[in-house]
Structure formats: structure tokens, C-alpha cells
Amino acid sequence: MSKHNTSTEPGDYNQETEMAALAAAMSDASRMKILCALMDGRAWTATELSAVAEIAPSTTSAHLSRLVKAKLVTCLSQGRHRYFKLHNSHIAGLLETLMGVTFQASNPSRSRVPTDLLNARTCYDHLAGEVAVKLYDSLVIHDWLKQDGSDLTAQGKEKLLQLGIQINPKTKRKKCCPCLDWSERKFHVGGHLGAALLIFFEERNWVERVIGYREVTITPKGQAELKRHFLI
């Protein structure tokens, strides 16, 4: 007799069934377009998502209801307006992994990805792409980040504090973690540190987001400062 729990009685938890339901909620190209758009970390209106997915508003509403029910997306109400964003960073990580699998498996897809997107983009609330991978490597090489990317070193904490980058010691999420970049197949900085770095870069005008897209532009000032402080 199998040791695995295959019971389907009400109240029983069946992981395989839950996984299948989650996959089913994602198994639509339009819903995937919506999820990928939300990877920029912002909250979008249904109208904006309708435009990016190139589908009718009524269809978008049905898709969003399905995504909210599956806990892939959450709905935020502000007055009469409703906004949608990814449910959490774990969903963003799942999408990033799927992007990596499909990107590596399909040669035609590689040639269709815009160069700017490969260079720098958002991965939910942190920076991804070639620039982000170089940043991760630099932090490790210069002993700011532990070899496994799990935490800052004492020197790293001091250097970032000198730059003005604040790391909340009471954060409930991982302070920092290696996040596998889907286009580079190497790590970039995720977790609380990754989010803090992106906020810092934006506030200092080192990077600029392309509104409505995941692309991130490194400004001339950013190029100079990243080279100065991180040697990239």
C-alpha cells in the first residue's frame, strides 16, 4: 500500500491536487501576460492589464477573478478604484523560474527578447538581468556578500550603511538570497537586500523604470556610480 496520502475527503489536504489547480490557473496565455506584467512589482488597474494582455475588459475581469481565487494575484481597493498585484514574492519567484525554463528550452525565444530587457529589468521588487548578475558577482568577490549569497558580511553591512542603504534587521522576509536569473542563468540579489538596492538606485536616479514594462534603464549617473562603488 502506498505511503502517500491520496485521500480526497473534505478537509484533507492533497498537495498534488493543489499543484494541479495552481498550474491550471496559469495555463492560459492571456493570464500569463497579466502575471508577467505584474512582475514589475507595481499595482495595475484592470484597464491597464487589459491593454497589455490585448484582450477585452470583460475577459480581463474573468481572468483576474481566476488569478485572485488561485492566490496568484491580490486585489487592492482604494476608494472606487481597484488595483491588482502579485500575491507575494514567492509567486514572483515561481514566474521567474518558468521564464528561465522556457527561455533556455526555446532558441527562437532568445532572439525575440529585447536587448534592454536582458540588460536590466525588474524581478518583482529587485533588479535582474546582466547588470544585476554583475552586481551580485561583485558583492561576493569583494567580500560584501557571503559566498552562498545568504547574508551580508560585516564589511558588506558597513559599506552599504556608508552608502546610505538601510537593511531592516526585523524584516520577516529573507535578508538576502541568491535569485537565479532566467536570462543569465546566474544569480542576482533577491530578498530584502535586493529590494533595498533597487529602491536606493531609483531614489539616487541611478536607474529609471520604463513605465508599463519591466525594462530598467541605467542612467549615465548610474553607470558612473555603479562603476565607482561596485566596480561594474
**Average pLDDT value for residue range 71-82:** 90
Residue 1 is predicted with a pLDDT of 46
Quick: pLDDT tens for 28-71.
Answer: 999 999 998 898 888 899 999 999 899 999 999 999 999 999 99
Q: Of the candidates 152, 163, 124, 134, which has an alpha carbon nearest to the alpha carbon of residue 40?
A: 124
- Concatenating the DSSP letter of every residue in 12-27 gives ---HHHHHHHHHHHH-
Helix %, strand %, coil % for the chain, to 5? 50, 15, 35
pLDDT at 9 over 60: no
**Average pLDDT value for residue range 104-109:** 58
Rounded distance between C-alpha atoms, residue 174 and residue 169, angstroms:
10
Element (H, E) at 140: helix 130-141
- The residue behind cell 537593511 is 167
Q: Of the candidates 103, 99, 126, which has an alpha carbon nearest to the alpha carbon of residue 36?
A: 99
pLDDT at 90 over 90: no
Q: Which residues pair with 209 in a beta bridge?
A: 216
Quick: pLDDT tens for 114-129.
Answer: 788 889 999 888 999 9
Residue 2 is predicted with a pLDDT of 46
Helices (H) and strands (E) in the chain, counts: 11, 8
Q: Give the CATH number of domain 15-87; options: 3.40.50.360, 3.40.50.970, 1.10.10.10, 3.20.20.70.
A: 1.10.10.10
Residue 108: pLDDT band (50, 70, 90) is low
Q: Tell me the domain boundaries of the chain.
A: 15-87, 91-230
Within 10 A of 11 (CB to CB), how many other CB atoms are there?
Answer: 5
Residue 112 is predicted with a pLDDT of 66
Quick: pLDDT tens for 191-231.
Answer: 999 999 999 999 999 999 877 678 899 999 999 999 999 99
Quick: pLDDT tens for 129-162.
Answer: 999 999 999 999 999 999 999 999 999 999 999 9
Q: Give the least confident one: 10-14, 64-68, 91-95, 128-132.
A: 10-14
Q: Is the CB of residue 96 less than 8 Å from the CB of residue 89?
A: no
